[in-house]
């Protein structure tokens, strides 16, 4: 371990449902896009945590692969999926270290909620997006949410690396819309929508984009 796994393992060990048991509003936002295309079947949930949104997607008929580098989170989600017999495969994986463990053009959609604002350098974010593009089918969706500069914690905490702040032990990047564009466009994504949303206690941009 040398990333931020320890803090997340601790969080999930002390609270198995840290983010709540209900799906996020972002998951519903993405679901509304996906049901416009009846061929959408396979989804990849990156940084899935204990899986509130993976569970929602699987309950609504999608096959889900979930990755997270927290062993504790993956165990929690695996147990729930087994118990409820849901089509979710949950795996321990650090997305900044290696290419995603899937073949090219494998998923209809990739989803990540509050992952890209974790401690990743811009180089790592570009690598992650290029990998997302590789595993997506043509015209596949890339949905992601990130914390933004209207967040009440922006400007608080100490800068630990350029653009990344330590907020109560969590290392966070706060995005502007322009930064989202300049991350996604060169990696071959067309931004379809950026919507601001407050999810207690953070302020997010919800992003719907498409591989082109």
Contact footprint for ligand SAM (CB under 6 A) = 3-4, 8, 19, 24, 47-49, 52, 67-70, 73, 94-96, 113-115, 118
Q: Which is nearer to ligand SAM, 20 or 212 (CB)?
A: 20
Q: Which is nearer to ligand SAM, 1 or 83 (CB)?
A: 1
- Kindly state the smallest distance separating residue 191's Cβ from ligand SAM, in Å: 20
- Kindly state the smallest distance separating residue 81's Cβ from ligand SAM, in Å: 15
Q: Which is nearer to ligand SAM, 163 or 190 (CB)?
A: 163
Short-list 47, 92, 82, 43, CA closest to 63: 43
- Kindly state the smallest distance separating residue 145's Cβ from ligand SAM, in Å: 8
Q: Which is nearer to ligand SAM, 42 or 52 (CB)?
A: 52
- Kindly state the smallest distance separating residue 24's Cβ from ligand SAM, in Å: 6
Q: Which is nearer to ligand SAM, 117 or 209 (CB)?
A: 117
- Kindly state the smallest distance separating residue 1's Cβ from ligand SAM, in Å: 11
């Amino acid at each position: 371990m040398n990333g931020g796994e320890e803090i997340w393992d601790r969080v999930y060990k002390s609270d198995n449902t840290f983010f709540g048991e209900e799906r996020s509003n972002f998951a519903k936002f993405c679901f509304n896009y996906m049901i416009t295309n009846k061929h959408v079947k396979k989804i990849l949930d990156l940084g899935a945590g204990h899986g509130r949104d993976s569970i929602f997607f699987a309950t609504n008929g999608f096959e889900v692969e979930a990755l997270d580098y927290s062993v504790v989170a993956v165990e929690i989600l695996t147990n729930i999926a087994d118990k409820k017999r849901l089509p979710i495969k949950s795996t321990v994986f650090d997305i900044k270290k290696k290419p995603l463990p899937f073949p090219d053009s494998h998923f209809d959609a990739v989803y990540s909620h509050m992952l890209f604002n974790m401690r990743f350098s811009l180089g790592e974010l570009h690598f992650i997006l290029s990998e997302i593009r590789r595993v997506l089918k043509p015209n596949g969706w890339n949905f992601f949410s990130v914390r933004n500069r209207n967040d009440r914690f922006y400007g608080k905490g100490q800068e630990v690396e350029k653009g990344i702040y330590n907020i109560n032990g969590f290392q966070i990047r706060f995005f502007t819309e322009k930064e989202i564009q300049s991350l996604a466009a060169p990696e071959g994504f067309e931004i379809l929508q950026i919507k601001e949303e407050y999810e207690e206690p953070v302020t997010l941009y919800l992003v719907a984009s498409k591989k082109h």
